[in-house]
Structure 1
Amino acid sequence: MQFTPTQKRAAAWMAIAFLGLLALRALGPVLTPFIIACVLAYALTPLVDRLDALWRGRMPRILAVVIVELLLVVVLLSLSLLVVPVLLKELPLMREQIPVLFDRLHDRLSPWLAQFGVRISLDLASLRAQLMEYLQTNWSDSFGSVWSSLKIGGSVALMVIFNVLLVPVALFYLLLDWKRLVARVLELVPPRARPGVDSFTSEADQVLGQYLRGQLLVMLTMAAFYSGGLALFGLELALPIGVFTGLAMFVPYVGFGIGLILALLAGLLEFGSAKAFLMVGLVYGTGQVFEGFFLTPRLVGERIGLHPLAVIFALLAFGQLFGFVGVLVALPASAVLLVAIRRARSGYFASKLYHS
């Protein structure tokens, strides 16, 4: 059986893609900091270019890269510090409010069960005592066990620290030479295929850019919405929980669910049952309707085509195949696959096979 040149080229590209996937899976732990840096470089390169354009080339690109990277570090540190107030506030509240919550549960559950003739012996006092004893355990013992674990897994801890330090270094060089690296990669494309590849990459870049910009606006808007709504109910941790919920919405439904659980837990510890459920129901219910029916369609748009369920499936599938590295490349790969599917669909409808 004779193969045409087009079929041979297609088979060669499929073999290259397959080998690339195998290499990505085998070298996942090594490639993780570089892939993180590549994703960040793709997102931050337009900002560096705008700084260059703002100063009309008078600012050295290396200075623009340093400014952008410092801003990124400040933002990431600020977001990380949002978790600290939640832990510092909720752990003491948990130790104080758990006995009260158990007493309320016992007083309300026992008469309600008695109406149905159900007699269940709930030793809530013993359970409460055991839980309080666990929460009031000497913290030094916990830190000692953590320290011993760190000593045992010292090589793992050093590898994590090394990767964390490697990401900003790799990001610096990628931001500095991003356009040059992209041009070098495109030089490998044969001249005959260059127009098609340029058109394909341009469309994929447009789809991914529109999604990322729209999703960022949705996250910031919903972070302000949830923070304001929780603050109206007087929740002391309204700002960190609201901001976390909004920013965690980058992973559809999962981030929203985690934020809802945090808000409900904080509300139960601070207010009790009735007001906590009312607060979570109103704020998060209204927020979900506002985001799903108004905000996302307007800011992200149906024309982009990255449906939330498709994003969830991509994250799970790539994570299962390639681990943490797969999660990092899931969104860019989904945008590229979306463009490829669109073009294959258009080619099929225009082909003789469809009209025969």
Structure 2
Amino acid sequence: MIVTIPKRIPPMEEIGDEIHKIILPQPFYAPNNIYLYVGSDGLILIDSGYIESIPMLQASLKTKGFSLKDIRHVIYTHNHLDHISSSLVLKSYAPKAIFYGYRAMQTGVGNYLESMYLFEEATEDLFRTAFGDPLELDRVLTESRRGWNTFYSKFKETKKGNPILQIDVAIDHNDSLELGGRNFRFIYTPGHNLYHITPVSTESGVYFSGDLIIANLTAIYSQLDGSLGDYHFTLSKLLEEPIKRLLPAHGHEIEDPKKTILLVKKTLSILEKGVIRRLRESPSDLLHLMEAAIGKKVHNGGHLPTALGLIYSIIQKLVLEGLIRIETKDSGYETFYLI
């Protein structure tokens, strides 16, 4: 991969509390918010984005007189590819950068490409669960594989990449570190992802929520590395935190953090009641339950697997509670019945 100047340069914008923000477009979901501090020894980044976004990151830094070589610390909220896949090649352009991430992520991921193959398989299994129409399933699988192959090809383009996920400093829950003259505390916040952490600027009370809180909802990949139960527990713990600002990895800043967290909890409860209500009317499948709860608009763009994963996590909860029975066909397609 050659780091070149892209046609459209995303700005490096100052957003208060000495924090800068770069919005990096990427091909899968909504654009990523990369947050930066200018530390005493160089730049401190919260996540570094998708592998293909490195040229845009470099170009944005240059608008403020910086380059990739000025990066000294990169804190990773979790290991999803739109947040961390750039790390597979970033060391080649930022040789002095130190990578920070949750301790279990350091030991649990290993070969990142192999971990993404498992994630791709889990996503395809989710589609097979949801789509009973073979033609529609084939269309969705073809589109999904096209996206995954793009990611794999981008890594193969570079001669400098390393498929092993490298975390230089392992983070445990409630660890505190001084990076570039700035103090951070780290909270283990599972739910969206098994390895998710929330970095906290202790001086300003700014919480970088990654994918944990995005607007009034989030994604939960219950098939592989997410947990609805963990998510509820994490939200309750966050309500006890002295949050002054909440900065998500996608979308706008959360204006009222505590109110939004309560709204997310309420929304999940409403979704669960909606699933039960619709199954009380008649048996249904994952696709139609998702469309009824979230809308058909999620078929456009990369949000389909996240929407299906969220509703399926609710289904699994209700199955464990003995409220739903599942009928599974040989293809993997499932129909749900209220007991």
Mark the structure with the bigger radius of gyration.
Answer: 1
| Both proteins in one fold, TM over 0.5 | no
TM-score (norm 2): 0.28
**Larger proportion of strand:** 2
More helix by share: 1
In the superposition, the TM-score normalised over structure 1's length comes to 0.27
